[in-house]
């Protein structure tokens, strides 16, 4: 492509609306333009990158045996009513009516549509397993669209859905997708981790989020610092190590003692007032779990993980008790609940509290706390379990190494759905024995447009983007700096033709611009390779080649140019870990 005939409206100034680096660069490099909040036009260079990501994803999906389809963006509300998500999905689902007053929505995801498609066609176990995917535009009316392609309202997603005849098959489908994702993200050139996520009612390790590691990530993940271990989990999921200890019904130790704590509601207030450390407190949180009162205890300096609590209780709905409920269940205002003589049947505690230590707890009485509470002796704890949020410095649940917190951007998600949609929508088949069974499903998403932004977040410098060669809009930018020297222009034209002939994706900056302008644009857009032909070089029979990532320059002989170029190019791909 010749830049003089192309459409790359670069900007000198950074638009004020852009907060993160990828958004700034994508706008400045003329790769995207905002149409309205969270909705972008993809300009030629941006589109090329998006398409390259999509193609790598497509190749890996095909290799894993998935089959491409294309489903509509507009979906009938009736399907969403079948699964109950018409009500439950919330405001991200953009609902509207057609001229006949029928309900429709813009697809934020396609479980309903795909299940409807498959239930109509698949009858026998012989047609399973089946994995269908598409690369398509999604719409989610995000509450805070931001960061350009990172969190748009309209964005491009690859979504796949697997249908299997049994659990074992579904697990195999899951693993195949996990592997396809790992291969795709590696080929794209991303530094990522597959992070264990909470799989809710399904349980087991059947939900992984693929996270690109970047400081600007919106997600925090717990990562084991031992490279060989590789454990990574999101904070909802990350398990803490059982510290052990016992909780006997101690009588030999000092008895429970009430202390006045007038107006001291929070852990911090109570600790200051009693001059103790938060780790000496056991805080009691009251919940309404599917209508039943439950108390959960964690150490005063810890944070309760409500996903772990919900999973432990097997609850569908878990809400922190209201002030009225707290008053009714504990007999005291918020801030004074404790496990001793609590009018709540189910009391669970984090296993850190199993240590035989006299804890400070609420007294179930306004303005009072208790000291020397031994949970084995003084309270009825239903069970001790992992209930807290992991912290940096915790031990790794897999290898005992040290846990640290990293920032990540979620670029993909693999998830075992089980029977959720097949049951709600009666997607059944006849098994080997002619028995009707529900299909076991999985769903797998990749944020195609978000990946382009994530790649820039990971690879940039003060001058602009540094694209991995596998997803760069063009691999090479060829610049001729001969001014009025026709021999330079002629040679550049010749090299341009040779590169194209050799199948290299080359953008030829043939504009009548100063060298500085060309250099700046090439750096900004971030082609991984730059070729600069000048009058002097031509005389000496060489062209200057710059590796955008390292800034290293090489001189490639113009004799047998393509061979020399390919050798240099191979080195660059290898240095990126892409060959």
Binding footprint of ligand ATP on the chain (CB under 6 A):
109, 140, 142, 151-152, 155, 157, 410-413, 445, 447, 449-450
CB of 219 to ligand ATP, least distance (A): 7
Query: Residue 138 or residue 354: which is nearer to ligand ATP going by CB?
Result: 138
How near is the Cβ of 447 to ligand ATP at its closest, in Å? 2
Tokens representing 493 are: 């034209």
**CB of 142 vs ligand ATP, minimal distance in Å:** 5
Indicate the residue among 151 and 518 with the shorter CB distance to ligand ATP. 151
**C-beta of 132: minimal distance to ligand ATP in Å?**
16
Question: Residue 139: which residues within 8 A CB-CB, separation 6 or more?
Answer: 73, 94, 106, 107, 108, 153, 154
- For residues 111 and 418, the answer to whether their CB atoms sit within 8 Å is no
What is the sign of the dihedral through the CA atoms of 3, 190, 221 and 162?
Answer: positive
Minimum Å gap between C-beta 14 and ligand ATP is 21
Angle at the Cα of 361 from the Cα atoms of 359 and 367, rounded to 5 degrees: 140
Q: What is the smallest separation between the CB atom of 218 and ligand ATP, expressed in angstroms?
A: 7
Question: From the CB of 199, what's the least distance to ligand ATP, in Å?
Answer: 12
At its nearest, how many Å lie between ligand ATP and the CB of residue 157? 5
* Sign of the alpha-carbon torsion through 150, 151, 152, 156: positive
Output the CA torsion sign for 227, 60, 129, 159.
positive
C-alpha 56/C-alpha 43 separation (Å) is 20
What φ, ψ does residue 70 adopt, rounded to 5°? -135, 120
The DSSP-derived string for 434-460 is S-EEEPEEEEEEEEHHHHHHHHHHHSE
CB closer to ligand ATP out of 2 and 146: 146
Query: Is the Cβ of residue 140 or residue 308 nearer to ligand ATP in the bound state?
Result: 140
CB of 155 to ligand ATP, least distance (A): 4
- 477 - beta bridge partners? 507, 530
CB-CB contact of 408 with 72 (8 Å): no
Q: Can you point out the beta strands (E) in 307-425?
A: 318-320, 346-350, 359-362, 368-373, 383-385, 403-418
- DSSP summary character for residue 16: T
Residue nearest to ligand ATP (CB): 447
Closest CB to ligand ATP among residues 151, 377: 151
**What is the nearest approach in angstroms of ligand ATP to the Cβ of residue 188?**
13
Give min distance, CB of 404 to ligand ATP, in A: 21
534 CA to centre of own chain: 45
Nearer to ligand ATP, 138 or 299 (CB): 138
Which residue number, 411 or 522, has a Cβ lying nearer to ligand ATP? 411
Q: Which is nearer to ligand ATP, 151 or 165 (CB)?
A: 151
3-state helix vs strand vs coil in the chain, percent to 5: 30, 30, 40
Query: Which residue(s) pair with 68 in the sheet?
Result: 133
CB 542 within 8 A of CB 557: yes
Cβ distance to ligand ATP smaller for residue 22 or 357: 22
C-beta separation of 436 from 1 below 8 A: no
Q: Least distance from C-beta 79 to ligand ATP, angstroms?
A: 17
Please say which residue, 357 or 449, places its beta carbon nearer to ligand ATP: 449
Give the residue with the Cβ less far from ligand ATP, 26 or 370. Answer: 26
Nearer to ligand ATP, 209 or 394 (CB): 209
CB of 281 to ligand ATP, least distance (A): 33
- 3-state class (DSSP) for residue 14: coil
Which phi-psi region, left, alpha or beta, contains residue 314 (left: φ > 0; alpha: ψ -120 to 50)?
Answer: left
State which residue, 165 or 208, has the beta carbon closest to ligand ATP.
208
Nearest to ligand ATP of 146, 511 (CB atom): 146
DSSP single-letter state for residue 321: P
What is the Cα–Cα distance from 408 to 230, expressed in whole angstroms? 15
CB burial of 209-239 (b: ≥16 within 10 Å; e: otherwise) equals: bbbbbbebbebebbbbeeeeeebbbbbbbbb
Report CA-CA distances (Å) from 7 to 2, 47, 116: 10, 12, 42
Q: Burial level of 84, CB count in 10 A (0-12/13-18/19+)?
A: exposed
Shortest distance in whole angstroms from residue 91 CB to ligand ATP: 13
Q: Residue 518 contacts by C-beta under 8 Å, 6 or more apart in sequence? A: 479, 481, 509, 511
Q: With respect to ligand ATP, which residue has the nearer C-beta, 201 or 225?
A: 201
Q: How far is the CB of 492 from ligand ATP (least distance, A)?
A: 39
């Amino acid at each position: 492509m010749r830049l003089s005939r192309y459409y790359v409206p670069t900007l000198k100034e950074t638009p004020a609306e852009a907060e993160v680096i990828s958004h700034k660069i994508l706008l400045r490099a003329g790769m995207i333009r905002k149409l309205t909040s969270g909705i972008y036009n993809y300009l030629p260079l941006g589109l090329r990158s998006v398409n390259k990501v999509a193609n790598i994803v497509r190749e890996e999906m095909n290799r894993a045996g998935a089959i491409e389809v294309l489903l509509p963006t507009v979906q009938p509300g009736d399907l969403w009513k079948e699964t109950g998500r018409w009500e439950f999905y919330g405001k991200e689902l953009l609902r509207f009516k057609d001229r006949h007053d029928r309900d429709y929505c813009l697809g934020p995801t396609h479980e309903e549509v795909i299940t409807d498609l498959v239930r109509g066609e698949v009858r026998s176990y012989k047609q399973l397993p089946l994995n269908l995917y598409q690369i398509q535009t999604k719409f989610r009316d995000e509450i805070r669209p931001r960061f350009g392609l990172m969190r748009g309202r309209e964005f491009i997603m690859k979504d796949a859905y697997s249908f299997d005849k049994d659990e074992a098959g579904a697990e195999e489908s899951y693993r195949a997708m996990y592997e396809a994702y790992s291969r795709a993200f590696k080929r794209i050139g991303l530094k990522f981790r597959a992070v264990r996520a909470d799989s809710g009612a399904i349980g087991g390790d059947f939900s992984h989020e693929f996270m690109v590691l970047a400081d600007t990530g919106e997600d925090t993940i717990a990562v084991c610092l031992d490279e060989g271990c590789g454990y990574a989990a999101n904070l909802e999921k990350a398990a803490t190590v059982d510290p052990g200890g016992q909780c006997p019904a101690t009588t030999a130790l000092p008895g429970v003692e009430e202390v006045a704590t007038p107006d001291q509601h929070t852990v911090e207030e109570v600790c200051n007032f009693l001059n103790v450390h938060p780790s000496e407190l056991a805080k009691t949180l009251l919940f309404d779990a599917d209508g039943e009162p439950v108390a959960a205890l964690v150490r005063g300096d810890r944070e309760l993980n409500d996903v772990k609590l919900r999973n432990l209780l097997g609850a569908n709905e878990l809400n922190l008790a209201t002030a009225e409920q707290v008053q009714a269940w504990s007999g005291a205002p918020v801030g004074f609940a404790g496990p001793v003589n609590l009018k709540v049947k189910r009391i669970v505690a984090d296993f850190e509290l199993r240590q035989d230590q006299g804890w400070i707890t609420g007294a179930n009485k306004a303005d009072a706390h208790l000291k020397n509470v031994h949970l084995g002796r003084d309270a009825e704890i239903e069970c001790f379990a992992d209930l807290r949020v992991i912290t940096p410095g915790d031990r790794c649940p897999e290898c005992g190494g040290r846990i640290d917190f990293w920032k990540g951007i979620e670029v993909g998600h693999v998830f075992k759905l089980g029977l959720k949609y097949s049951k709600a929508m009666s997607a059944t088949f006849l098994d080997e024995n002619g028995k009707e069974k529900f299909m076991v499903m999985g769903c797998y998403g990749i944020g195609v447009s978000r990946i382009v932004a994530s790649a820039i977040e990971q690879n940039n410098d003060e001058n602009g983007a540094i694209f991995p060669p596998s997803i760069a809009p063009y691999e090479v930018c060829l610049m001729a700096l001969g001014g009025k020297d026709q021999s330079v222009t002629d040679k550049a034209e010749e090299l341009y033709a040779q590169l194209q002939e050799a199948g290299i994706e080359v953008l030829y900056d043939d504009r009548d611009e100063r060298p500085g302008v060309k250099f700046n644009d090439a750096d900004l857009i971030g082609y991984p390779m730059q070729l600069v032909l000048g009058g002097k070089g031509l005389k000496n029979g060489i062209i200057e080649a710059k590796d955008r990532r390292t800034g290293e320059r090489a001189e490639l002989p113009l004799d047998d140019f393509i061979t020399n170029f390919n050798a240099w190019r191979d080195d660059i791909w290898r240095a990126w870990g892409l060959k």
